[in-house]
Amino acid sequence: MTAILTWNIQCGLGCDGRVDLARIARVAQTMGEADVLCFQEVARNDPEIAGGADQVAELQALFPRYVAFFGAALDRQGGGDARRQFGNLVLSRLPVLQVFRHLLPHPAEGGIKHMQRQAIEVVVETRAGALRIVTTHLEYYSAAHRAAQIERLRALQAEVADNEAEPPKAAASPYDPVPRPGSLVLCGDLNFLPDEHEYRALFTPPLLDAWRVARGAEPHPPSTGLYDRRQWPMGGHCRDYFAVTADVAQRVAEVAIDTATDASDHQPLRLTLRD
């Protein structure tokens, strides 16, 4: 089995107002062993967030058997030599063959808050072969941004599939071929609800909703707002997903969610694939 966990950890800020990355690690581990951990909302050296801690280094220390790969959506000048960064983190105990960091579309839209968004892609070697894992956090405040970001994610998948079908000529490094299959798990805080048009825009072949693959018509469980009613007065609802290609869908064994923890304003989800 190959297990992947995704979680918007809100920089370790729990519903009790405490920043506690050790608690994040404990909760993730109680869901069962994961081969790859995908965390959204991770900060480095930002005095406005978690006292300016380097959360990438802290999480790497909490998961010593994993290797960390950080994708900064924001990379700004900080104090001294430290850069203020914010983005998505992948921790893998599987061999990572390649890493790609994709900036997502950020169209102009005045009068509302919005920020640059990013997706980080790793190609891992599993017992069933190479697998691409992409984690991202789409814009919350702008539907136009989300639509453009979904379009870009789908275009990236089409580009990879086309290159797999028509591989370039191999040559010595840096042109040597390294696996980058069309087989994909895309996960993260996608900031849309299951009944919204953005859900249908993303979950159109070749991308399938792993929850539907595993659970059929069973409603998506709430992944956001269960315990933090200040940020989420609407209460519990779903914003976090796994998307998979059809070949990966055939391997889906389980999609699980921890609805008990209040270590973040989101809940962690875990996807298990048969090898």
Three-state DSSP state, 169:
coil
* CA-wise closest residue to 155 among 210, 106, 204, 87: 204
Given the candidates 3.30.70.3150, 3.20.20.370, 3.30.43.10, 3.60.10.10, the CATH classification of the domain at 2-273 is 3.60.10.10
pLDDT along the chain (275 residues), means of 10: 98 97 98 97 94 96 98 90 94 98 97 97 97 98 98 98 95 94 98 98 98 97 95 95 98 98 98 97
For residue 138 the two structure tokens come to 């789409």
DSSP string, 103-137: EPP----TTS-----EEEEEEEEETTEEEEEEEEE
pLDDT of residue 80: 73
Residue of 186, 185, 187, 189 whose CA lies nearest to 237: 189
Rounded to whole angstroms, the Cα distance separating 227 from 189 reads 17
Q: What is the pLDDT of residue 81?
A: 79
Q: Would you kindly state where each structural domain of the chain is located, as residue ranges? A: 2-273
Helix, strand or coil, per DSSP, at residue 62 = helix
Catalogue the long-range contacts made by 105-109 (C-beta closer than 8 Å, 24 or more residues apart). 105/145, 105/148, 105/149, 105/151, 105/152, 106/145, 107/144, 107/145, 107/148, 109/142, 109/144, 109/145
Q: In what side-by-side order are the strands of the sheet with 129-137?
A: 96-103, 118-126, 129-137, 184-189, 240-245, 207-209
Q: In this structure, what token pair is assigned to residue 173?
A: 């490094």
Query: Does the pTM exceed 0.95?
Result: yes
